[in-house]
Amino acid sequence: MKIAVINGPNLNFLGIREPHIYGSHSLADLEKEITSYGQEKNITITCFQSNFEGAIIDFLQQCYHDDVAGIIINPGAYTHYSYAVSDAIKSIGKPAVEVHISHIHSREDFRKNSVTAASCVGVVEGFGFDSYLIALDALVRYINKHKKEG
């Protein structure tokens, strides 16, 4: 099974940006952790990060062509206003789980709204890097359940 993990703007600054919120580990640390966790479960993880909305949309569309089974996406700030990313998630017809390292509902008011969540099968937030691992487990269960039903 192939799963894509997409990280949006400023997540390349993990470990530098607001460590009291996002922790002291880097994006490379996160990618290593989720890739290793996926390998334990016989899942191929492809990681992608961009600060550019169009590049994220292009990557989502490539996931369709690459027959990726599902998506884990942390849209970063695009969570709150990118209808283009939301539409791209819907358009590829692959199940996606939105993730956030922080608990966005306990932060500034503008962070409490997600325009991308409605395009996803679920949202995991507030568990630090473990949000990605929880999302991976939930996504695989979702995919397997819907294969049996389909």
Active-site residue set: 22, 100
Coil, helix or strand for 52? coil
State CA 76 to chain mean position distance. Answer: 9
Amino acid occupying residue 51: N
Q: Do residues 93 and 70 make contact, with C-beta atoms less than 8 angstroms apart? A: no
- Let me know: does 104 contact 111? Beta carbons within 8 Å: yes
Type and span of the H or E element at 72 = strand 70-74
**CA dihedral (149, 93, 48, 134) positive or negative:** negative
Output phi, psi for 93, to 5 deg.
65, 25
